[in-house]
Amino acid sequence: MKRLFALILLTFASTAPLHAAVEVQEVTSPGGIKAWLVEEHSIPFTALELRFRGGSALDAAGKRGAINLMTGLLEEGADGLNAQEFSEAREELATSFQYRVHDDTLSISARFLTENRAAAVDLLRSSIMSPAFNQTAIDRVRGQVLSGIRGDLTDPSSIAGQNFDAMVWGDHPYGSDRSGTQASVNSLTRDDILDAYDRVFGLDRVYVSAVGDITADELGALMDVLLGDLPESGAPSVGRAEYILTGGVTVIPFDTPQSVALFGHKGITRDDPDFMPAYILNEVFGGGGFESRLMQEVREKRGLTYGISTYLAPMEYGDLILGQVRSDNSRMAESIAVIRQEWAKIAKSGLTAKELEDAKTFLTGAYALRFDGNAPIARIMVGMQMTGLPVDYLRTRNDQVNAVTLEEINRVAARIYQPEELHFVVVGQPEGLEGSN
Amino acid sequence: MHRLIALLVSLFALTPSARAAEITSFSLGNGMEVVVLEDHRAPVVSHMVWYRVGAADEPAGKSGIAHFLEHLLFKGTDDMEAGEFSATVARNGGSDNAFTSWDYTAYFQRIAADRLDLMMRMEADRMRDLDMTENDVRTERDVILEERGQRVDSNPGSLFSEQMRAAQYLNHPYSIPIIGWRHEMEQLNRDDAFSFYQRYYAPNNAILIVAGDVYPDDVRQLAIRHYGPLQPTPDLPERIRPQEPPQLSERRLSYSDPRVAQPYITRSYLAPERDSGDQTEAAKLEMLAALLGGSGTTSVLGRKLQFETEQAIYTTAYYSGTSLDDTTFGLVMVPTPDFSLEDAETALDRAIAEFIDEGVDSEQFARIKMQLRASRIYGEDNIESLARRYGAALTSGLTIADIEAWPDILQAVSEQDVMDAAKMIFDPNKAVTGWIMPPKKPEATQ
């Protein structure tokens, strides 16, 4: 039976990998706003994705949390509608708008039925162009944000993340949580919120994509209505963040039965020519699936954790390779020893030819699985625009994966993985683990 | 108001059932049910096998065995090495996983549609021919203990809901956590797993769901080839679990944990679930939950407690009707720092009492129905989540006819129906009320 399986596998593995079957149009509105569009008329709705480059890293000095709070207020009333009336209007139209902010982007994800498109776009426009930011709403949402900040103070995972960021990035906005602190959020005024709004929104930083029951002309007109009156620009970029952490272990005592560890060091920028080999390396090393080396060594062989993963974080102003693991306090030291050993091993020996081949088959086959619905496709396309990838990347990406050689992989492994630089931040009561600095 | 009515009318016109995903179902000779959901927009398929067995079917003292077995299904069979299943899926560019609930255990792969044959071959293999070493079992037991550490023991809110559930169900095994009680998990062994496996993992206890770029005739052919030869378990017992006695007095819990940053109050009530051919009561409760807590801004609790009195940071109401036996209806309120849990409970009681008094806001009710109709259109964009809804319903005692009838049953609920349901469910003697908070600061000794 086993041989039969092997034979079948070989047959399958040699078939051409799937290509993402989406036809992307590059659209420019009459007013000059650009977007990527996939027309998909079989279901009568559209997913629209907007992103503004900048995000919470654009917070003014001393106003940490202002952009996060401002984002939470966008759906709390606009154009003469209060928060409840705004929600009611959204519900009547059965449309949904989600506003999220990250370090480098503010994103707005909308979906609307074809028959309600015009009314939905008018409502969305009001939240972007003329949010009310009234004091009652500011205070109510501030209360929600403060509740989240208090929760983070006793959550081991948040404690680890915030300490790691602070040690890595120091005073750069990346070094502190985007929600701000209780003190900074308590001190924010309506003027701070208005200033935060001005920093984030601008025509020079918006990226748009749409997928669904809409034509290029309709999308062009829609964008001019929705975004045409935005100011030309927002706040200038904040400049690169300097990586200031060195290798070691930091233990943050916290009374909990299972420790959480965050670990990593400096990474690689998205536009680095070595990014693709680095991406493949990470996939094999700690990327999500059961098959990664860290899952095999830490979970499958030793049962030291339920899950372990690593990822590349190429951010706008700095980059990291990061991982996370949770182990019982009595076993965290062993998990860390195994991770160190694997880190050193991949730096020294890279991947085997078989690992590279398996990773290529997985990555090229799995690429098409990401395009599963209008909203996911819209998010991928807006992400590609922000990264500066051409439309053509959808067709060439798998070829780029396949073109990576073992020699390149092993050269990049030695470049990326720096066992001496690896720093662990452990929150819990890990037994037999001493902080080194 | 005028605008609203116009919208509703046009949306009705927009919802011809013909555009919904094509659904086909049939059974194999050995009793295995098959459901096919077609979506030909992308060359991708989701292949799922759902077993009608979950944590509420475990033998006494073996809590966690259903979930532990789910983990062990990724070890070996007579034909496959430990780990080979997932490795094979990955080498074919797919992803796979599994999940366990009280009423079901399900395994799935998402992969290019032309690999369906291989997925079925492997899934059929592990339905009857599981094989694993003692060492695999021991290591995996450590993994599930770490999983419990991560999901439950590290999270005071999870510990608290485990206690709430145990208090809610005095007699029914829904009182047991899916992951298991730690002291029982530590004792689970290979024999426990195998006896559970041999009894429940069989074609006559399984439902195959294939969703995506496939045609029913092809699925039928493949299913007959791979699943058809598997032997059913004879005399598979009916799923009859111990039921709850009448609740005669309120149950109250209070849980302190230094890791709680945000105190809150939660209350649950035993509630009827969706029954095959009889989903009306469940539909009323579903609408009641949407009215009370469906939105932080426009729901009854949001409006009263977050906006009018400003006593709450967050409120919600929940009801999950897809369940084999009696389920729960619940309320949650997170007070602002200026209010104690006692104040919060008083405020929550008052909000509910006012609602009983005031009745349903017709405009809110219409908006909820509008959103439910629209959700059918949006739902067509995600065939995998549609397939999961089918799997959960079919393993919870419902039929395809029940699933298809559900949206219309929801639309048929009247305002009076909702109020009747509210009066039925909010019986103070039948409440389980829980407070979760940080410990009181130690007082000075006298």
Cβ pair A368:B112 closer than 8 A: yes
Interface mutation target, options B378, B386, B388, chain A, most CBs of A under 10 Å: B378
Whether B90 sits inside 8 A of A290 (CB atoms) is yes
Residues of chain B positioned with their CB less than 8 A from the CB of A111: 378
Q: Are B382 and A8 an interchain contact pair (Cβ–Cβ within 8 Å)?
A: no
Please report the residues numbered 268 through 287 in chain A whose beta carbons come closer than 8 angstroms to any beta carbon of chain B.
none
Nearest to B42 among A152, A307, A371 (CB): A371
Residue written as tokens 């709004």? A197
Please identify every residue of B annotated as catalytic: 70
pLDDT digits (tens, 9 = 90+) for A271-281: 999 999 999 99
Among chain A residues, the shortest Cα distance to B115 is held by A12
Contact of B207 with B361, CB cutoff 8 Å: no
Question: How confident is the model over B21-50, as a mean pLDDT?
Answer: 95
Q: A310-346: b or e for each residue (b if 16 or more CB lie within 10 Å)?
A: bbbebbbbbbbbbbbbbbbbebbbbbbebbeebbebb
Contacts of A303 in chain B (CB under 8 A): 138-143, 146
The residue-averaged pLDDT of B107-121 equals: 96
Instruction: Summarize the confidence of residues B432-438 as an average pLDDT.
Output: 98
At residue B12, does pLDDT exceed 90? no
Residues in chain A: 437
DSSP classification of residue A82:
E
Contact between A265 and A419 (Cβ < 8 Å):
no
Cβ of A324 under 8 Å from any chain B Cβ?
no
pLDDT at residue B154, as a whole number: 95
Of B88, B138, B377, the CB nearest to A9: B88
> CA-to-CA distance for B380 and B21, rounded, in angstroms?
7
What is the tens place of the pLDDT at every residue in B244-257? 999 999 999 999 99
- Which is nearest to B132 in space by CA: B174, B210, B190? B190
Q: How far is A69 from chain B (nearest CA, A)?
A: 15
> Tokens standing for B191?
């024999």
pLDDT of residue B13: 34
Mean pLDDT of A158-179: 97
Q: Do A364 and B138 touch (CB under 8 A)?
A: no
The residue of A147, A305, A357 whose CB has the most chain B CBs within 10 angstroms, and thus the best one to mutate to test that interface, is A147
- B244 neighbors B432 (Cβ within 8 angstroms): no
Q: Which tens digits make up the pLDDT trace of B366-409?
A: 999 999 999 999 999 999 999 999 999 999 999 999 999 999 99
A305 and chain B in contact, CB less than 8 A = yes
Q: Which of B110, B121, B298 sits opposite A91 (nearest CB)?
A: B298
Q: For residue A20, is pLDDT > 60?
A: no
A151–B contact, CB cutoff 8 A? yes
**Helix, strand, coil tally for chain B in percent (to 5):** 50, 20, 35
Burial of A119 (0-12, 13-18, 19+ CB in 10 A): middle
pLDDT tens figures, A35-52? 999 999 999 999 999 999
Distance CA B263, CA A151 (A): 10
The answer on pLDDT for A180 being more than 90 is yes
**Separation of CA A321 from chain center:** 14
**For A21-41, what is the mean pLDDT?**
94
- d(Cα A66, Cα A141) in Å, to the nearest integer? 12
Subunit contact B144:A306, Cβ cutoff 8 A: yes
| ipTM surpasses cut 0.85 | yes
Provide the token pair at B14.
Answer: 């927009």
Pick from A13, A151, A362: CB nearest B261: A151
Q: Are the beta carbons of B259 and A255 separated by less than 8 Å?
A: yes
Do residue A43 and residue B381 have CB atoms under 8 angstroms apart?
A: yes
Cβ atoms of B158 and B152 within 8 Å: the answer is yes
A-chain residues near B91 (CB < 8 A): 9, 13, 358, 361-362
- Percentage of residues of chain A with pLDDT beyond 90: 91
DSSP A265-297: EE---TTSTTHHHHHHHHHHHHSSSTTSHHIII
Average predicted confidence (pLDDT) for chain A: 93
At B39, give phi and psi (nearest 5°).
Answer: -150, 110
Q: How sure is the predictor about A372, in pLDDT bands with cuts at 50, 70 and 90?
A: confident
More confident residue, A1 or A138: A138
Q: Is A375 helix (H, G, I), strand (E, B) or coil?
A: helix
pLDDT band at A22 (very low <50, low <70, confident <90, very high): confident
Question: Does residue A427 surpass a pLDDT of 70?
Answer: yes
Q: Per-residue confidence at A116, pLDDT binned at 50, 70, 90?
A: very high
Give the model confidence (pLDDT) of A246-303 as tens digits. Answer: 999 999 999 999 999 999 999 999 999 999 999 999 999 999 788 899 999 999 999 9
How much is the average pLDDT of A224-235? 96
For B261-279, the pLDDT digits (tens) are 999 999 999 999 999 999 9
Residues composing chain B:
446
pLDDT of residue B3: 36
How does the average pLDDT of chain B come out, rounded?
A: 93
- For residue B431, the SS3 value is strand
What's the pLDDT at A437? Answer: 59
Interface contact flag, B86 A291, Cβ < 8 Å: yes
Residues A98, A128 contacting (CB under 8 angstroms): no
Which chain B residues contact residue A309 at CB under 8 A? none
> What does the CA dihedral B131, B136, B142, B145 come to, rounded to 10 degrees?
-10
pLDDT recorded at residue B442: 63
Spell out which residues of chain A touch residue B41, defining contact as CB-CB under 8 Å.
40, 42
For B174, the token pair is 């829904």
For residue B142, give how far its alpha carbon lies from the nearest alpha carbon of chain A (Å).
5
Distance from CA of B248 to the nearest CA of A (A): 36
